[in-house]
Amino acid sequence: MVLDGVTVREAARQVAQNWWVVLALALATFLGMTGVGKLTYVPEYTSAATLVIRVKGADAYSSLAQASQMTAVYSEVFQSSALRNEISASVGEPVEGSVSCSQVSGTNLLTLSVTSPTPRQAYLFIQSALQNYERVSGYVFSNATLQLVQEPSVPESPSNTSPLIAYRYLGAAIAALGAVALIALIYLLRNTVKTAEQASDLLDGRVLGTVPFERKRVVRGGDERSVPALVLSSPLVSMGFAEANRRTATRLEAHLRSGGFKTVLVASVEENEGKSTVAANLAAALAERGRRVLLIDGDFRKPAQRRIFDEQNLERPSFSDYVLEDGVAGVGPVLNGRSGVYELFQYKALRDPMAVFSGERLADVMAELSERFDYIFVDCSPVAAAADAELWMRQVDTVVLVVRQDMTDVRVINDTVDVAWKSAGDFSGFVLNAFQGEWSLTHGRGYSAY
């Protein structure tokens, strides 16, 4: 369901992915209400007795008929200051607490309850009240008496509970609902690309294709477990994922041919948008068609292509060596037999990546390689991470920008497009990456981490 470019299922997925926030807020509320409730709780103890109202000279029917009226009067008697003074004088100390009287429905029985701060005072209060009430009630009902049916007892446990403790489960539930509402609100207010449908309205450029989210699969080999990257040469990728990459590569090649372009920079604004995997798959998709394609890992800070293609020989010279040392004897683009892509990877991070961009050597290398290959794809550092991406834009013909679902502010993305136009002179379009179209209550590792 889509409402103005916002998927209800994606909002629900956001809540599911942030379940720990909901749980933490509910638990904090529960523990907070419990703690404050215990700190502020003042226990009260209630002692009760049951009495029967007897009217002198009246039959049972008349006694029952007058019971309701007498209950109200006796209630005033037991709550009167006169009786309280009698009780204090009898006990020999001030007695704290409250008294209540209530009629047992349909009977002439009366329940007398006394509530005090301590069990002792509650018991003393009700015993003294029963012993001294006649001194006050005699002035009110000379023809009525109370007979004790059930003796009062010393209360063993408090009769009240803390409201905070009593409603802590409700408070935790309200806090959880509030957390759900807050997560959904934050999702709705984020100025990001939430659906493929709204991308064309929000982004300043053409959408080359949408790559669906693809979960990595764990491969077991003996006692070891591995999680291979999802490239088109892998048998683990789904058909939908592979075809989405191939369709995107087809649209991109049409643009490259129309402009006579050969070198493409695949960039993203933020980390973890999946630009490295997108670059690898675009190169592999064109290599499948018999094109001579070179993939350069131009990310001198966190190179990822060697991991994507599972290159184990870390002693090989890096692309930066190829540039800075004016070529390395016997070293150049290497053909990957599985993907059909030629590789020039970065096997180590550089302390000073700016050294690669200084001088004319990088431009000469790119010009030389352009003559040898049909297309060259360059993977670089994210735009927000360093200035490398903008420097690379000056070395290529066009730029492809990878946008992950609900991740980067649209305004920053469009500002990056402006930079691409100014630096490279052309912008091919966007690849919408890791867009989920199905329900998913978990968000395990996906290929977009590279």
Give me the DSSP letters along 34-84.
HHHHHHH----EEEEEEEEEEETT--HHHHHHHHHHHHHHHHHHHTSHHHH
Q: Is 424 exposed, middle or buried (0-12, 13-18, 19+ CB in 10 A)?
A: buried
Instruction: Give the residue from 35, 430, 445 showing the smallest Cα distance to 205.
Output: 430
Stated pTM of the model? 0.70
Q: How confident is the model at residue 143 (pLDDT cuts 50, 70, 90)?
A: low
36 and 49 in one domain? no
Per-residue pLDDT of 404-424, as tens digits, reads 998 999 999 999 999 999 999
Query: What was the pLDDT predicted at 447?
Result: 41
d(CA 208, CA 206): 6
259 and 177 in one domain? no
188 assigned to some structural domain: no
Please give the mean pLDDT across all residues of the chain: 86
297 and 211 in one domain? yes
187 assigned to some structural domain: no
Per-residue pLDDT of 297-352, as tens digits, reads 999 999 999 999 888 776 788 899 888 876 555 568 999 988 999 999 999 899 99
- The DSSP 8-state label assigned to residue 93 in this structure reads S
Q: Is 417 exposed, middle or buried (0-12, 13-18, 19+ CB in 10 A)?
A: middle
Q: Would you call 341 helix, strand, or coil by DSSP?
A: coil
52 and 37 in one domain? no
Query: What was the pLDDT predicted at 12?
Result: 86
Per-residue pLDDT of 238-277, as tens digits, reads 999 999 999 999 999 999 999 999 999 999 999 999 999 9
Query: What was the pLDDT predicted at 421?
Result: 96
Cα-based distances in Å from 322 to 171, 281, 319, 370, 389: 64, 24, 5, 15, 19
Query: What was the pLDDT predicted at 49?
Result: 92
280 and 260 in one domain? yes
Query: Hey, which residues does 103 pair with through a beta bridge?
Result: 110
Q: What is the mean predicted confidence (pLDDT) over 157-182?
A: 94
d(CA 360, CA 365): 9
Range of the structural domain that residue 14 is part of: 2-41+162-182
222 and 340 in one domain? yes
d(CA 318, CA 326): 12
Query: What was the pLDDT predicted at 41?
Result: 93
Per-residue pLDDT of 182-227, as tens digits, reads 999 998 888 999 888 889 899 999 999 999 988 876 665 544 445 5
Q: How many domains does the chain have?
A: 3
70 and 32 in one domain? no
373 and 278 in one domain? yes
Query: What was the pLDDT predicted at 327?
Result: 53
Q: Is 224 exposed, middle or buried (0-12, 13-18, 19+ CB in 10 A)?
A: exposed
Tokens 């070529």 belong to: 327
Domain end among 97, 129, 150: 150
Q: Would you call 349 helix, strand, or coil by DSSP?
A: coil
Tokens 């946008």 belong to: 403
Query: What was the pLDDT predicted at 440?
Result: 40
Q: Among 97-101, 294-298, 363-367, 438-442, where is mean pLDDT lowest?
A: 438-442
- The DSSP 8-state label assigned to residue 92 in this structure reads T
98 assigned to some structural domain: yes
156 assigned to some structural domain: no
224 and 267 in one domain? yes
User: In CATH, what number is assigned to the domain containing residue 230?
Assistant: 3.40.50.300
72 and 10 in one domain? no
Query: What was the pLDDT predicted at 101?
Result: 86
Query: What was the pLDDT predicted at 145?
Result: 75
142 assigned to some structural domain: yes
Per-residue pLDDT of 45-58, as tens digits, reads 999 999 887 776 55
Q: Among 38-42, 94-98, 368-372, where is mean pLDDT lowest?
A: 94-98
d(CA 437, CA 213): 8
142 has a pLDDT exceeding 80: no
User: In CATH, what number is assigned to the domain containing residue 118?
Assistant: 3.30.70.1130
Instruction: Give the residue from 286, 341, 288 showing the smallest Cα distance to 311.
Output: 341
Per-residue pLDDT of 271-281, as tens digits, reads 999 999 999 99
Output 135 or 217, whichever has higher pLDDT.
135
268 assigned to some structural domain: yes
d(CA 97, CA 159): 13
Per-residue pLDDT of 16-46, as tens digits, reads 889 999 999 999 999 999 999 999 999 999 9
Run of H or E residues at 148: strand 144-150
379 assigned to some structural domain: yes
413 and 382 in one domain? yes
Kindly compute the dihedral angle of the four CA atoms of residues 410, 411, 413, 415, in this order, to the nearest 10 degrees.
160
64 assigned to some structural domain: yes
Q: Confirm if 238 and 214 have CB atoms less than 8 A apart.
A: yes
62 and 111 in one domain? yes
